[in-house]
Structure 1
């Protein structure tokens, strides 16, 4: 029992001796967070760009809704006159309605898809502002000695990282 206690005390002393050594070896990393959304909202140009994009999107949605109303009107008229039409006239009307629907879907895709007009305009208006904000964050991090800066308000996650802590190449080399 006495020997067991002695071994326990030896282990505890060893741990206590090693803790300060590890503490000195570990360099503290400086971490900060920012709310990029709040920063962007504080930039007047960003607000103006968002307003322009909202107006543009609203106008395009309205145009598309009007086109769908025209299609609905064509369809209702077709339903009412269908019994009076010949087979050929019926097929022509059906084709006309289907083609019109196809045109409107294409208009929607052209305006609102990930490679559509709205996305391209957003990139054109907002991207330079975002780039300026990220450059300011990076400069701030370097000036103040931060190793990592996270976006606490959005889904961007980490927006600045000191390259010294990037161990990607080490992992790639380990996998070879």
Structure 2
């Protein structure tokens, strides 16, 4: 966070120096917004966030169910281990490994970098954020701000 503030300060200082070097008499105009507050008050964003939360909750329930199944398989093997032959133990351990890999793959499919969560977020939330961003740019242009900073990111 300190690095971010330092970089912003350096950028503002350099812009000020550049503006003075250009012979500009107008100082640098900086606008501050709170993007979190703005988005929280946009009904489309709230609706998109709720849809995303519902999907995410469903996926988490599925992951929890799969995790429980793996844990039950491990517990059952642990309880039966003394009664089983080495071949049966190895077979059950292999089944557990397969289930663990399925769980990991499912988690990646839903929440990985290329997962459904990221795609859904882009589809549902990004258009609303883009609309808000475009409006902020219009206002900034009309008010002749040199920079518009998001104060919610600095906190």
Superposition TM-score, scaled by structure 2 size = 0.81
- Aligned match of 1:108: 107
State the Cα distance separating 1:58 from its structure 2 match: 1.2
SS at match of 1:40: helix
- 1:65 and 2:67 are equivalent in the alignment: no
State the Cα distance separating 1:73 from its structure 2 match: 1.0
- Aligned match of 1:88: 87
Hey, which bits of structure 1, 4+ residues long, moved more than 6 A?
none
State the Cα distance separating 1:114 from its structure 2 match: 2.0
Supply the distance in 2 between the matched residues of 1:81 and 1:141 (Cα, whole angstroms).
69
SS at match of 1:80: helix
Max Rg structure: 1
- Greater RCO, CA 8 A, separation 6+: 2
Further displaced range: 24-33 or 103-112: 24-33
- Aligned match of 2:35: 36
Unpaired runs of 5+ in structure 2?
1-20
Supply the distance in 2 between the matched residues of 1:81 and 1:25 (Cα, whole angstroms).
83
- Aligned match of 2:6: none
Supply the distance in 1 between the matched residues of 2:67 and 2:116 (Cα, whole angstroms).
20
Aligned residues: 133
Unpaired runs of 5+ in structure 1?
1-21, 156-176
Superposition TM-score, scaled by structure 1 size = 0.71
- 1:75 and 2:74 are equivalent in the alignment: yes
User: RMSD between aligned alpha carbons?
Assistant: 1.6
